[in-house]
A and B are shown apart, each in its own frame.
Chain A
Amino acid sequence: MTRIRFLLQLQGLGQVGLSRFAAQHGALLQSAFCLQPNLIKNAQRQVIKHFHGSLVCAKRNSVPSAQPLNEDKKSNDSALIHADLFDHVSGTFKTKATFNKAIDVFIKSDVRRRGHVEFIYAALKKMPEFGVERDLAVYNKLLDVFPKGVFVPRNFIQRMFNHYPRQQECGVQILEQMENYGIMPNLETKVLLVQIFGEKGHPVRKYQRIMYWFPKFKELNPWPIPKDLPTDPVDLARFSLARIADDLDAQVTVYQVPHTDVTEKGEHVTLPHIVGIQSPNQIELLAKHNPDRPVFIEGPFPLWLRKTCVHYYILRADPTPADEKEECPYDPESCLAYPLALDLDLDRDMGDDETFDVEICNEGPVFAMCMTGQGDEATLNQWISGLQQKNPILGQVPVLFLLEGRTTELKISSDKESDSQNSQHEDHQTQDRRSKVEANR
Chain B
Amino acid sequence: MMNICRLSVLSKFAKFGDPLVCNLRNAGKCTTPLHHRRTFKTHSRNLAYAKDLFLGQLNKDEVFPYPQIGNEELEEIKQLVAPVERFFSEEVDSAKIDQEGKIPPETMKGLKELGLFGIMVPEEYGGLGLSNTMYARLAEIISLDGSIAVTLAAHQAIGLKGILIAGNEAQKQKYLPKLASGEHVAAFCLTEPGSGSDVASMTTRATLSEDGKHYLLNGSKIWISNGGLADVMTVFAKTEVVVDGVKKEKITAFIVERAFGGITSGKAEDKLGIRGSNTCEVSFDNVPVPVENVIGEVGGGFKIAMNILNSGRFSMGSSASGMIKKLIELSSEYAATRKQFTKSLSEFGMIQEKFAGMALNAFVMESMAYLTAGMMDRPGIPDCSLEAAMVKVFSSEGGWICVSEALQVLGGLGYTKNYPYERYLRDCRILPIFEGTNEILRMYIALTGMQHAGKVLTGRIKELKRGNIGLALGMVGKKIKTSLRSSVDLGLTGKDGVVHPSLTESAKKLEENVQYFGSTVEGLLYRYGKTIVEEQLVLKKVADVMIHLYAMTAVLSRTSRSISIGLRNHDHEVLLTNTFCSEAFFKNNFWLTQLQKHAPENNDANIKKIAKEVLEKRAYICSHPLERTF
For the complex, give the distance between the alpha carbons of A232 and B455 in Å: 65
Whether B525 pairs with A338 at a CB distance below 8 angstroms is: no
For B459, the closest partner residue in chain A by CB is A345
**What range describes how many residues of B lie at the interface?**
35 or more
Judge whether B199 and A336 touch: CB under 8 Å: yes
Nearest CB in chain A to that of B32: its residue: A345
CB distance from B542 to the nearest CB of A (A): 13
Residue of A nearest to B613 (CB): A222
Which A337-395 residues sit within 8 Å CB-CB of chain B?
337-349, 351-352
Q: Which of B38, B200, B618, B623 contacts A339 (CB 8 A)?
A: B38
A347 with B531: CB separation less than 8 A: yes
Closest 4 CB pairs of A and B: A346-B529, A338-B444, A332-B38, A337-B197
Q: List 12 A-B contacts (CB under 8 A).
A: A215-B628, A333-B199, A336-B190, A337-B443, A338-B448, A339-B448, A340-B533, A342-B447, A342-B454, A342-B532, A351-B527, A352-B597
Chain B residue contacts of A262, Cβ below 8 A: none
- Indicate whether A269 reaches chain B with its CB closer than 8 angstroms: no
Taking the closest CB of chain B, its distance from the CB of A434, in whole angstroms, is 26
Beta-carbon nearest neighbor of B615 in chain A: A248
Complex interface: chain A residues within 8 A of B441 (CB): 337-338
Closest to A218 in B: B628
From known contacts A332-B38, A336-B306, A342-B454, infer whether A348 and B527 are also in contact, taking CB-CB under 8 Å: yes
- The CA of A339 and the CA of B386, in the complex, are separated in Å by 13
Given contacts A333-B302, A345-B458, 19 further A-B contacts (CB under 8 A): A219-B623, A333-B250, A334-B198, A335-B200, A336-B197, A338-B441, A338-B444, A338-B447, A339-B451, A342-B450, A342-B530, A342-B533, A343-B37, A343-B38, A345-B25, A346-B454, A346-B462, A347-B530, A351-B527
Cα distance A248–B200 in the bound complex, in angstroms: 27
Taken together as a complex, chains A and B put the C-alpha atoms of A337 and B444 apart, in Å, by 6
CA distance A334 to B200 in the complex (A): 5
Contact partners of A345 in chain B: CB under 8 A: 25, 28-29, 458, 462, 530
Residue of A nearest to B25 (CB): A345
Q: With A and B bound together, what is the CA distance between A327 and B447 in angstroms?
A: 24
Tell me whether A337 and B440 are in contact in the complex, defined as CB-CB below 8 angstroms, given that A346-B525, A347-B531 are known contacts.
yes
A347 touching B197, Cβ below 8 Å:
no
Interface of A with B (CB < 8 Å)? 211, 215, 219, 248, 329-349, 351-352
Verify B462–A338 contact, CB threshold 8 A: no
Q: By CB atoms of chain B within 10 A, which of A248, A333, A335, A337 has the most?
A: A337
Contact at A349–B526, with CB atoms within 8 Å? yes
Check: B251 CB closer than 8 A to any chain A CB: yes
- Complex CA distance for A337 and B532, rounded to whole angstroms: 17
Check if B436 is an interface residue, CB within 8 A of chain A: yes
- Judge whether A339 and B199 touch: CB under 8 Å: no
Q: Summarize B's interface: helix, strand, loop or mixed.
A: helix
Inter-chain contacts of A331 with B (CB < 8 A):
200
A329 touches B36 (CB 8 A): yes
Closest B residue by C-beta to A211? B630
CA distance A332 to B29 in the complex (A): 19
Which chain B residues border A334 with CB–CB below 8 Å?
198-200
A341 touches B530 (CB 8 A): yes
Report which B residues bind A (CB closer than 8 A). Answer: 25, 28-29, 35-40, 190, 197-200, 250-251, 302, 305-306, 309, 436, 440-441, 443-444, 447-448, 450-451, 454-455, 458, 461-462, 465, 525-533, 597, 618, 623, 628, 630
When distances are taken between beta carbons in the complex, the residues of chain A under 8 Å from B529 are 344, 346-349
- Majority SS of interface residues in chain A? loop
Q: How far is the CB of B486 from chain A (nearest CB, A)?
A: 32
- Please give, as numbers and ranges, the residues of chain A lying within 8 Å of B451 by CB-CB distance: 339, 342-344
Q: A346 and B200 in contact (CB under 8 A), knowing A337-B443, A338-B447?
A: no
| A338 near B443: Cβ-Cβ < 8 Å | yes
Contact A339 B447 (CB under 8 A): yes
Contact A339 B40 (CB under 8 A): yes
Q: How far is the CA of A140 from the CA of B28 in the complex (A)?
A: 80
B300 to A, closest residue via Cβ:
A333
- A345, B26: Cα distance in complex, Å: 11
C-alpha spacing A330/B38, complex, angstroms: 10
Are the C-beta atoms of B527 and A344 separated by less than 8 Å?
no
Check A343–B630 contact: CB distance below 8 A. Answer: no
Check A344–B251 contact: CB distance below 8 A.
no
The CA of A113 and the CA of B524, in the complex, are separated in Å by 80
Q: Is the CB of B440 within 8 A of A338?
A: yes
In contact, A336 and B302 (Cβ under 8 angstroms): yes
> Which chain A residue lies CB-closest to B525?
A346
Question: Cβ of A335 and Cβ of B35 under 8 Å apart?
Answer: no
Are the C-beta atoms of A348 and B531 separated by less than 8 Å?
Answer: yes
Set of chain B residues within 8 Å of A347, measured between Cβ atoms: 529-531
The answer on a CB contact under 8 Å between B527 and A349 is: yes
* Interchain CA distance A215-B627 in the complex, whole Å: 13
CA distance A344 to B455 in the complex (A): 7
A49 CB to nearest B CB, Å:
26
Given A248-B618, A346-B529: A336 in contact with B305 (beta carbons within 8 A): yes
Chain A residues in 8 Å Cβ range of B597? 351-352
A335 / chain B contacts, CB cutoff of 8 Å: 197-200
| B193 vs chain A, min Cβ distance (A) | 16
Residues of A within 8 A of B40 (CB): 332, 339
Q: Which residues of B contact A342 (CB under 8 A)?
A: 447, 450-451, 454, 530, 532-533
Q: Which A residues are CB-close (under 8 A) to B533? A: 339-342
Looking at B28, B190, B532, the one whose CB has the most chain A CB atoms below 10 A away is: B532
User: Who on chain A is nearest to B605 by CB?
Assistant: A354
Chain A nearest CB from B121 CB (Å) reads 25
Please report the C-alpha to C-alpha distance between residue A343 and residue B526 in the assembled complex, in whole angstroms: 15
Nearest residue, chain B, Cβ from A340: B533
Chain B residues with CB under 8 Å of A337's CB are 197, 309, 436, 440-441, 443-444
Docked complex Cα distance between A341 and B623 (Å): 41
Give min CB distance, A330 to chain B, whole Å: 7
B525 partner residues in chain A, CB cutoff 8 A: 344, 346
Distance (whole angstroms) from the CB of A1 to the closest CB of chain B? 42
Given the complex, which residues of B lie within 8 Å of A351, measured CB to CB?
527, 597
Among B36, B198, B447, B455, which residue has its beta carbon within 8 angstroms of that of A330?
A: B36
Distance of A248 Cα from B616 Cα, bound (Å): 9
CB-CB < 8 A to A340: which residues of B? 533
Give min CB distance, A217 to chain B, whole Å: 14
Q: Do A344 and B530 form a contact, CB below 8 Å, given A337-B197, A337-B443?
A: yes
Residue of A at shortest CB range from B446? A338
Distance in Å: Cβ of A190 to nearest Cβ of chain B: 12
Distance A347 CA – B443 CA, assembled complex (angstroms): 19
Min CB distance, A193 to chain B, in Å? Answer: 17
With most chain B CB atoms within 10 A of its CB, the pick from A219, A338, A345 is A338
Query: In the docked arrangement, what's the CA distance between A331 and B448, Å?
Result: 17
With most chain A CB atoms within 10 A of its CB, the pick from B38, B436, B465 is B38
| Closest-CB distance, B410 to chain A (whole angstroms) | 37
Contacts of B447 in A (CB 8 A): 338-339, 342
Q: How far is the CA of A44 from the CA of B199 in the complex (A)?
A: 68
Q: B462 contacts which chain A residues (CB < 8 A)? A: 345-346
Name the contact of B530 in the complex, choosing from A333, A336, A346 (C-beta under 8 A). Answer: A346
Tell me, in angstroms, the Cα distance from A344 to B302 when the chains sit together. 22
- Shortest beta-carbon distance from B436 to chain A in Å: 5
Please, which residue of chain B has its CB at the minimum distance from the CB of A330? Answer: B36
Q: How far is the CA of A342 from the CA of B452 in the complex (A)?
A: 10
Q: How far is the CA of A335 from the CA of B455 in the complex (A)?
A: 21
Q: Which residues of chain B are near A346, meaning CB under 8 Å?
A: 454, 458, 461-462, 525-526, 529-530
Is A352 a contact partner of B440 (Cβ separation < 8 A)?
no
Give chain B residues whose Cβ lies under 8 Å from the Cβ of A215: 628, 630
A353 vs chain B, min Cβ distance (A): 9
Give the residues in chain B near A338, CB-CB below 8 Å.
197, 440-441, 443-444, 447-448
Q: In the assembled complex, which residues on chain A have CB atoms less than 8 Å from the CB atom of B251? A: 333
Complex Cα gap A351–B450 (Å): 20
Residues of A close to B444: CB separation below 8 A: 337-338
A279 to chain B, nearest CB (A): 14
User: Are B197 and A344 within 8 A (Cβ)?
Assistant: no
User: Nearest chain B CB to A338's CB is how many angstroms away?
Assistant: 4
Q: How far is the CB of A276 from chain B (nearest CB, A)?
A: 23
